[in-house]
Amino acid sequence: MKRKSLITIAAAFSMALAVAAPTLAQTPAPTSTPIPATAAPTAVPLTATTSLFATANFLVNVRSGPGTEYTVLGKAHKDDALDITGKLADSSWWRVNFNGQEGWVLASLFNPTGDLTTAPEAVAGTGAVLKNGATTTTGAATAVPGAVVGTTTGSVNLRAIPATSGAVLVIIPFSTELTATGRTSGNNWVQVSYNNHTGWITSAVYSVSRGNVINLPVFDEAGVAVPATVAPTARPTVAATATTSP
């Protein structure tokens, strides 16, 4: 009887606690408001306004002067059309109107439309800035005498030797400026340095903008320098001594 009374009291006490306990209101978890994605701005195509213009074949640097030693003003995208306003004497670089300012592009990376002979010969203007911060008003290149500078016209393997069997040291991206330091006898490969690697790239994707590859040292198929041929020295001519018959 006593045990039954204790059970009854315990049950009543539990019910009293359940009634007395306040009901805790559950706070809803905050919800995040989605942020709409921002569309990346698209480049506005450049269009020509005259009958003489250049159309870009690739994504190409537009420079402040006629050479890779000049700073980059911006880039012309594939199929952008730029008015040609002048050219170097050898037509290797064209002066163009780039968003209202004077720019220069490497001719081999563009297709011309119109009569190029009507473009006047030109040199770098007062706005041309060299990479070292100096300015020029003459347009004369300040590259190291004899240096050969060019740009890759596509991604290319830098190989340990001048052959497709050579190990690939690194892949050089498109439109990379490189100074050539050697060549093979057939000029099919040129030696360059990139990211602390010195090796060889095929000349088929190397567009020279300064210098002449023919003046570079020659290397054999193993990448070993070929000794320069020394021109034979002329033997001194001994003047004939006239003799008198007795």
Under a CB-based contact definition with an 8 Å cutoff, are residues 7 and 14 in contact? no
**Which residue in 152, 151, 150, 169 sits closest to 160, CA to CA?**
169
| pLDDT > 50? residue 139 | no
Under a CB-based contact definition with an 8 Å cutoff, are residues 63 and 70 in contact? yes
Residue 178 to residue 211: CA distance in whole angstroms: 12
Element (H, E) at 15: helix 2-20
In the chain, % of residues over pLDDT 70: 68
Written as one letter, the residue type at 172 is: I
| pLDDT > 70? residue 59 | yes
Residue 30: what pLDDT? 64
pLDDT digits (tens, 9 = 90+) for 176-206: 888 899 999 999 999 999 888 999 999 999 9
pLDDT digits (tens, 9 = 90+) for 84-126: 999 988 888 999 999 999 999 999 999 999 999 999 988 888 7
Work out the mean pLDDT of the chain and round it to a whole number.
79
- Please give the average per-residue pLDDT across 45-60, as a whole number: 90
Does the pTM exceed 0.85? no
| pLDDT > 60? residue 152 | yes
Class of domain 148-219: mainly beta
Please determine, looking at this structure, whether the domain spanning 45-142 carries the CATH number 3.90.1300.10.
Answer: no
Residue 129: what pLDDT? 86
Give ranges for CATH 2.30.30.40 in the chain: 45-142, 148-219
- Environment class of residue 233 by beta-carbon count within 10 Å: exposed (0-12), middle (13-18) or buried (19+)? exposed
Residue 34: what pLDDT? 67
Within 10 A of 82 (CB to CB), how many other CB atoms are there?
Answer: 25
Residue 237: what pLDDT? 53
pLDDT digits (tens, 9 = 90+) for 231-242: 555 555 554 444
